[in-house]
Amino acid sequence: MTLPIKILLVDDDEVSNYINSELIENIGISSQVKVCENGREAIDYLTSLETNENQQIPQLILLDLNMPEMNGFGFLEAYQDLPDNVSADVIIILLTTSISEEDKEKIKKVHNSEIVFLEKPLTISDLERIKNQYFIS
């Protein structure tokens, strides 16, 4: 994949969203970061893309686990039911303060694909690693 990419950031913390969006844009991975403040909002956004051909599907989702209304676990369960044209080839990275073995096991039960965990806060080195691993060929 070539840069820049489309990123969906799903987190209820406005300050984190601002900082993460700035980091992402400054490092040149993306100039197009869509922010949703909970899993329900993110699922609704992705569902709206299914019928709007002018919108690009995100190639990367940075997902918090602990959010109101619909948390990251609920998002992953609902995400499994999205059509392939919205969910295929999307990389999901959990960006969270909780990286317990219990959470990892729970994720395996609700999501079929391998999920990468990153501990908050997101750093430039995290973004460089993501860029090099998934988006520079």
pLDDT greater at residue 34 or residue 54: 34
Task: Give the alpha-carbon dihedral of 49, 45, 95, 1, to 10 degrees.
Answer: 10
**Tens digits of residue pLDDT in 90-126:** 999 999 886 778 877 777 776 766 778 899 999 999 9
Model confidence at 41: pLDDT above 90: yes
What pTM was computed for the model?
Answer: 0.91
Report how far apart the first and last C-alpha atoms of the chain are (Å, whole number): 7
- Domain 6-135 homologous superfamily, CATH: Response regulator (3.40.50.2300)
**Tens digits of residue pLDDT in 46-87:** 999 877 766 788 999 999 999 999 999 999 999 999 988 888
| pLDDT mean over 13-28 | 94
